[in-house]
Structure 1
Amino acid sequence: MRNTFIVFFIFTSLSVFCQDRFLPLDTISSKEFHINLFEEYKSKYDAFNKNLDLIKSNQKKIVEEIYIENQKEFLENIKNNNFISDKNINSYLQELLTEVLKKNNIDSKEYTILLSKDSEINASNIGDGTIIINYGLFLAVENEDELVFVISHEIGHQYLNHVKNEIENFAKQSTSGEIIQKTNEIRKQKYNKATLANNLLKNIKYKNYSERRKKEIEADSIGLNFYKKTLRNPEYAISLLNKLDKSNQERDSLTIQDCKLCFENNRFKLKIKYFESEQSLFQKYDTNNAFNIDSLKTHPDCTTRIELLKKHIVTNGQQTNSSFFLGIKKNCVPQNLINLYSNQNYGTCLYESLKLYKLDKNNEDLQVIIFLTLDKIYKSKSNYTISKYMPSLDNKNNSQSLNRFINFINNIKMSDLEILVNQFKN
């Protein structure tokens, strides 16, 4: 909690990123909010688990395990203060949710919406009527209509019971005679067990990906029907999917030259070797194209989904933007940095801050957040806990820029890192 108050003080005592004063979201009531939220969902899950009823006992065990693990993860996110407690923005999102539900005569009591601090451009439905909007989504959406289509899409997942069906189908698949037979065959093999297991996993993943894509298309279709009832411009369903299709692509990068621009001065020079990666099995993994790249995307096959929706869309030329939405958009970049810092994602926070700082080296607010994150990274490297606060090297899902930055943090000498901390502290 202390981290949150430090950043709250910094960003309220300075003008950030623009001439107008930046007003961060309220975190003062966060403790009470998360305690109440935890109790609400703990009670809901206890009641739900008592009523689990499946026909086949062998599937029942698997389904129960999946639900319980998902519930544990969600409750852990609440304990870790991963949801934003600001009453104004939560009320605003609830109003948008209620708008869609009422226009479609859906019982609003079965639905609720939460705002996560997660910076990933995404939203989700966890299967019990709870829709989660990641704060990072505000970095992508350009108007309120796009946001409402996201909410309509997630209502579609709930309306069609996609989460429940997916869990039950996985249980059936896991207990099917075919999978059990193939698993037993692999166990009996003396050689190439890893290859056989990987091939089996690949087949399961492709089957699951096909089902997942089907569910996304279904949620798009019914979500568009829900969305149209609000009389908002359906054109923004297409513009939203276009943005999601590119959401796995990084908008900006941090080159070695950028790092030199941010850190170097007359008394300090960066060493190029800090940015170099080790040749290892990781490099080999990077060249393994066992899986379809689109199947790894957060938002699969948007191109097909866009073409299907276009057939049912007639634009009305209008765009809805409330003053509240515009206020969120104006503040979303600095607020995202606060969210990253308060969630102890220091590596990502530093990376995103440096991408902004290279364009505005006179920005004192960025200098402060860079100092805070560098200091946290220095201390975590000192006590060997750095992996908790840095993203992992990943040549499949990370950009080259992000991996280069991770190498830099991993390789830089402590003495040089201390120089950088003091440089921004001063």
Structure 2
Amino acid sequence: MTRFILFLFLILNSLSLKSQLYKPLDTADYAQRKVFIKTYTAENELYIKDLKNRYPGKTGQELAKIYKEFETDFVTQVKNKDFIFNSALDADVAALIIKLRKNNPNIPQKLKVLIAKDNAPNAYCLADGTFVINLGLFNLLENDDQLASVIAHELGHKMGEHVLRDIVGFINQDKMDKITVQNIKSDRLNRNKKAFDVLKIRLYRKGIEKRKNEMRADSLGFVLYRKTDFSKTDFVNALQNLKKYDTISPVPVKLETYKKYFSLPSQEFKDKWMKKEDFSAYDYKAFKAKINEDSVASHPEIPERVAKLQKYFTELKTTAPPAPSSESFKKAEHIARMEILPNFFHAEEYGLGIYTSLQFLQENEETKYYENWLGKCFAKIYEGRKNYTLNRYLDRIDPKDQSESYQQFLNFMWNLSLNEIKTIADYYQNKKS
């Protein structure tokens, strides 16, 4: 979530359409979800049957178990309304897949599209050919060409069967690790260290293989992408936007913003709300991680990916500004922007919803809309505080991994009393204008 807070910098500094009457996307799509689940489960069962034929014995049995468990989890997500059906967004993505397939007949025919109510700019493709595009991706990318490049990348993963190969490797490695663990048990010396070393080596190997898969998917994806009339340089531009997501600085919420929105007729603003927890005595330099984060990272650095592509595809050495956005993509961007708060609310990220609302309100954007979400999120925070479940909805302060602005926000939230939270919730839920 820390990365998404930083990502808001890009969103807050981009243009938006006027939308005082915007209504969140309707998820009362029971019929569509029912049909999807029926089709998905049937096709997944066929896929599992095929896996058993390709991988006889225990490996096939383990694969069947893993994909069946994934099916159960994914169906639960569908039932939980984590995806949007019957949306114009589906048609836009499907049209891009058709354009990619035009000169790439090897792209599988049975591909479906799902739009996820998730603000993280991400996409993935399931084994049965279901493409999942997060709404947050429309906030990161600039045009259809860049979205097509992401789809091509995910097609590279699917056509290279990277996920399946990873799982098979995991199963085979598990068998080897069990033998190693048995040997460790028979050795009385340094058992814990040896067991931890097995875990560390396994994590590092997994990270290396996943980074290789990302590189392979980039290359396979561009081979598909270059056969279309999409802007070639936008394949790299999309990656550069991912780099922005990794490196941008956050927009801080100012003290004046807190005073503006929490000085209420029935409750004056209190300076003690802004008191910060003191972490000065903690020596972060003394902490040394046992697992190197860079070694277990699943994605290579963006400059490394771009350099690799430019090495093998010389046309990517030429830079150019992004292609113009289509009207349909602009509408998708607008929807994704306005769905940020509904998505947080759906995911029960109420604290982050309040922080994000304050950032948008600070920019004087859609005041009525974001004040309404401020009230809804505070009402849920009140319920959590009253029922001793607030940790589910509001982060604890972590100076090592959070911006100063977000730490200040968390201090503010944890300093509020139960009645003060209720007063804020009631005010913004009942505010008329």
- TM-score when scaled to structure 2? 0.82
- Provide the rounded CA distance (Å) in 2 between the counterparts of 1:423 and 1:189: 65
Alignment map for 1:51-200 (pairs within 5 Å): 51-53=50-52, 55=55, 57-176=57-176, 179-187=177-185, 195-200=193-198
The SS at the match of 1:247 is helix
> Secondary structure of the residue that 2:131 maps to in structure 1?
strand
- The 3 A distance-change label for structure 1 pair 152 and 280 is farther
Are residue 229 (structure 1) and residue 233 (structure 2) matched? no
Rounded to whole Å, the distance in 2 between the matches of 1:402 and 1:68 is 40
Describe how 1:206-285 pairs up with structure 2 within 5 A: 206-249=204-247, 251-255=249-253, 257=255, 260-261=258-259, 263-265=261-263, 267-271=268-272, 275-276=276-277
C-alpha displacement of 1:255: 4.8
Which of 362, 365, 372 matches 1:368?
A: 372
Matched, 1:347 2:345: no
Cα distance between partner residues in 2 of 1:400 and 1:298: 28
- Asked if 1:308 corresponds to 2:308, the answer is yes
Matches within 5 A, 1:13-28: 18-19=17-18, 23-24=22-23, 26-27=25-26
Query: Higher mean Cα deviation, 62-71 or 220-229?
Result: 62-71
Between Structure 1 and Structure 2, how many residues are aligned?
Answer: 408
Residues 1:355 and 1:322: Cα distance change in structure 2 (over 3 Å): same
Following the alignment from structure 1 to structure 2, what is the Cα–Cα distance between the partners of residues 338 and 245? 26
d(CA) in 2 for partners of 1:331, 1:180: 49
Which has the larger displacement, 323-332 or 201-210? 323-332
Q: Deviations over 1:303-338 (max 9, x none)?
A: 211111123214576715221001222343212222
Offset at residue 277 of structure 1 (A): 7.1
**CA apart distance, 1:18:** 4.8
User: Counterpart amino acid of 1:216?
Assistant: E
How has the CA–CA distance of structure 1 residues 119 and 186 changed in structure 2, closer, same or farther, with 3 Å as cutoff? farther
For residue 131 of structure 1, give the secondary structure of its aligned residue in structure 2: strand
Instruction: State the shift of 1:43 in Å.
Output: 1.9
For residues 76 and 396 of structure 2, the distance between their equivalents in structure 1, rounded to whole angstroms, comes to 21
Secondary structure of the equivalent of 2:119?
A: coil
Q: Secondary structure at the match of 1:121?
A: coil
Q: Take 1:293 and 1:114, find their aligned partners in 2: how far apart are those partners?
A: 31
Q: Secondary structure at the match of 2:245?
A: coil
The corresponding residue for 1:32 is: 31
The letter of the residue matching 1:271 is K
Pairwise CA distance, 1:217: 0.5
C-alpha contact (below 8 Å) 1:233/1:316 kept by paired residues: no
1:391 to partner: Cα distance:
5.2
Structure 2 Cα separation of the partners of residues 422 and 40 of structure 1: 44
More moved, 226-235 vs 411-420: 411-420
Task: Quote the offset at 1:112 in angstroms.
Answer: 1.8
The answer to which of 54-63 and 375-384 deviates more is: 54-63
Q: CA RMSD in A?
A: 3.3
Do the aligned partners of residues 422 and 202 (structure 1) sit closer, same or farther apart at CA in structure 2, a change above 3 Å counting? same
1:361/1:220 Cα in 2 relative to 1: closer, same or farther (>3 Å)?
Answer: closer
Cα separation, 2, equivalents of 1:294 and 1:244: 17
Identify if the C-alpha distance between structure 1 residues 92 and 273 changes in structure 2 by more than 3 Å, giving closer, same or farther. closer
Q: Secondary structure at the match of 1:289?
A: coil
- C-alpha separation in 1, matches of 2:48 and 2:108: 23
Match of 2:424 among 420, 423, 426: 420
Shift of 1:39: 1.8
Distance 1:246 1:395, change over 3 A: farther
Corresponding residue to 2:200 among 199, 202, 207: 202
SS of the aligned residue for 1:52 comes to: helix
Alpha-carbon offset, residue 392 of structure 1? 6.6
Cα 1:421–1:89 change in 2 (3 A) is: same
Is residue 233–residue 317 contact of structure 1 (8 Å, CA) maintained in 2? no
**Structure 2 residues not aligned, in runs of 5+:** 1-14
Aligned pairs for 1:401-416 within 5 A: 401-402=405-406, 404-406=408-410, 408-416=412-420
C-alpha contact (below 8 Å) 1:27/1:86 kept by paired residues: no
In the alignment, is the contact (CA less than 8 A) between 2:59 and 2:171 conserved in 1?
Answer: yes
Deviation per residue, 1:188-224 (Å, 9 max, x gap): 5678655544332221111111111111111100111
Residues in 1 aligned to 2:260 and 2:183: alpha-carbon distance in whole angstroms: 56
CA, structure 1 residues 290+420, in 2 after alignment: closer, same or farther (shift >3 Å)?
same
**Alpha-carbon distance change, 279 to 418 in structure 1, aligned in 2, over 3 angstroms:** farther
Distance 2:186 2:81 in 1: 47
Judging changes above 3 Å, is the alpha-carbon distance between structure 1 residues 223 and 52 closer, same or farther for their aligned structure 2 residues?
closer
Distance 1:17 1:111 in 2: 32
Relative distance call for 1:241 and 1:421 in structure 2 (3 A) is same
Judge conservation of contact 1:125–1:158 (CA < 8 Å) in 2.
Answer: yes
* Cα pair 1:377 1:389 within 8 Å, conserved: yes
1:358 counterpart letter in structure 2 = Q
Shift of the 365–155 alpha-carbon distance from structure 1 to 2, 3 Å rule, reads same
Which moved further from structure 2: 133-142 or 392-401? 392-401
Per the TM alignment, residue 418 of structure 1 is displaced from its structure 2 partner at its CA by: 2.0
DSSP-derived class of the 2:149 partner: helix
CA distance in 2, matches of 1:273, 1:187: 53
Structure 1 spans left out of the alignment, 5+ residues: 1-15
Q: 1:403 to 1:229 in 2, by over 3 A?
A: farther
Deviation per CA, 1:6-29, whole angstroms, max 9, x where unpaired? xxxxxxxxxx97545554464165
Pairwise CA distance, 1:381: 1.9
